[in-house]
Amino acid sequence: MYNGQQPIFIMKEGTQRTSGKTAQSNNIAAAKAVADAVRSTLGPKGMDKMLVDSMGDVVITNDGATILKEMDIEHPAAKMIIEIAKTQEQHCYDGTTSAVVIAGELLKRSEDLVEQNVHPTVICEGFRLAADKAAEIIDAHAISVTPSALEEVAKTALTGKSAGAVKEFLADISVRAVLAVAQVVEGENVVDLNDVKVEKKQGGSIRDSSLIDGIIMDKERVHSGMPKLVSNCKIALINSAIEVKKTEVDAKIQITDPNMLSQFLDEEENYLKSLVEKIINSGANVVICQKGIDDLAQHYMAKSGIFAIRRAKKSDMEALSKATGGKIVTNVDDLSSTDLGAASKVEEKKIGDSDMVFVTGCPEAKSVSVLLRGGTEHVVDEIRRAFDDAIGVVAVAHEDGAILTGGGSVLAAISRDLRSYAEGIGGREQMAIEAFSGALEVIPRTLAENAGLDPVNTIIDIRKAHSEGKSTFGVNVYDGGVADMKIANVFEPSRVVEQAIQSASETAVMILRIDDVISSKSSGPMDAGDFDGMGM
């Protein structure tokens, strides 16, 4: 009651409101729960998660972004943490788990500061200063990329995944694929990964995977009378139907004489024959059509020894244009020899239980394909996710030209430098920078935990090594203790670490600034305890 009067309700019934420290602790608890859900997947000794959706479909993976995407999460603060993983995946392809774990640790340490009556905005300011300083430190530790280093970057990304046993094999494919499509634009390396087409087929072993200097299509020739293999190919790319044209509006043709019917059918036949003759006259011996091909046209093409595919995807047509140098023609009447693409071989092969078409030997291929194989569907899916990470980090490293040593070495070095930096900062922001510095050590600590090592001893060993000027020393997950990551060839692109720290700190700042949660759902209060299972 206010002065004897009724209280005024400004929100509708069923609306729930949590404010002050309760709101903050709930949000932090939810964020920590998300970080803990993926923490055990980090590093070479990380474990996998099995995710089963409402339809019963199973995904087995240790890719942080995939795990969080598949989890059915309700809490708004937890969803903000998932956004970190999505952003990391889009910009850097790898480091999703690291980014989420760092964000969770930042919030955990900031909670301790809030309990010591450090104001959230002071913590936020300290975190911003620390993140900016961390970016400078990363630049100081960056190493220039060499061709051999690209392969090591790919191997590091593949270590700890299902593909780890064949990481040398897949790393080689990913580096060759990136270098095949890389271009120099205004003096800078640019890699468009859309030019690397990845097809996956179950059956066979992972080592049956291959890089093709051309395009693979999950299609088969349209007529059994066509050759299975064509050499010295002149390829016509047509995106209109090789069929009798239908009228745009409804129309009726009245035929009163049987001779008229035969003339009408003859005219259709002649039209299709003329279309095929135009293709033959252009010099084409392979036709890739985006639309349909009439049965009669298929027959004429087969008689002329032309290899044809119909209903090709638009993306395949564009990739073929880049790979073969051919132009996509809308009207067959306009087709000429200058529009044709070139390839040394077009072949239909049986892969697994279906036929696929391989367009190979393209002289100036600006587009390549990778065929990934594996024993079962789940294996192939996880190999695909691992390969996407590997090819992504190779592309990022090639574009930026800068890499860092892995194994938690750079984060430990940043942590050490931030501690020194904090001493020169006055006010309570110093406490926030120190908390930020301590939070970055969560990565080497988690790597040690997941490898069954003593995390405290490992952190002490790393700090000792770094105090002696050995800034490239990180966690040795195989033999325990620490090792020089430069000698062990453990590298990752600098963009991966920089983006992980920036997005983790920005999201932590955003969550810390929330002191009021108003929910219009009437499904019950959002307690952090509701999110321990996280839909797993």
67 in helix, strand or coil? helix
Cβ(376)–Cβ(384) below 8 Å: no
**Would you say 17 and 24 are in contact if contact means Cβ atoms under 8 Å apart?**
no
Amino acid at position 223, single letter: H
Q: Is residue 353 helix, strand or coil?
A: coil
HSE, CB side, 13 Å, CA atoms: give it for residue 32.
Answer: 19
- Give phi and psi for 328, each to the nearest 5: -80, 120
Residue 451 near residue 44 (C-beta atoms within 8 A)? yes
Q: Report DSSP letters for 401-418, one per residue.
A: -EEEETTTHHHHHHHHHH
63 is catalytic: yes
Please, is 250 exposed, middle or buried when counting C-beta atoms within 10 Å of its C-beta (0-12, 13-18, 19+)? exposed
User: Which is it for strands 341-351 and 229-238: parallel, antiparallel or unpaired?
Assistant: antiparallel
Clarify whether 295 is annotated catalytic.
no
Cβ-based neighbour number of residue 279 at 10 Å: 24
Check 195, 213, 389, 461 and give the catalytic one: 389
- DSSP H helical ranges for 282-376: 295-303, 314-324
Query: What is the rounded CA–CA span in Å between residue 433 and residue 420?
Result: 10
> Annotated catalytic, 458?
no
Strand partners, 188: 185
Exactly one of 66, 97, 156, 458 is catalytic; which is it?
Answer: 97
Q: Which alpha helices (DSSP H) does 222-351 contain, by range?
A: 258-281, 295-303, 314-324
Is 389 part of the annotated catalytic residue set?
yes
DSSP β-ladder status, 229-238 and 286-289: parallel
User: Cβ distance 113 to 491 under 8 Å?
Assistant: no
Out of 96, 156, 159, 324, pick the active-site residue.
96
- For residue 244, count other CB atoms closer than 10 A to its CB: 14
| Number of neighbours of residue 81 by Cβ within 10 angstroms | 29
Residues 190, 105: Cα–Cα separation, whole Å: 35
Helix (H, G, I), strand (E, B) or coil at 333: helix
Query: Which of 18, 41, 61, 63 is labelled catalytic?
Result: 63
Q: Which amino acids are annotated catalytic?
A: 63, 96-97, 389
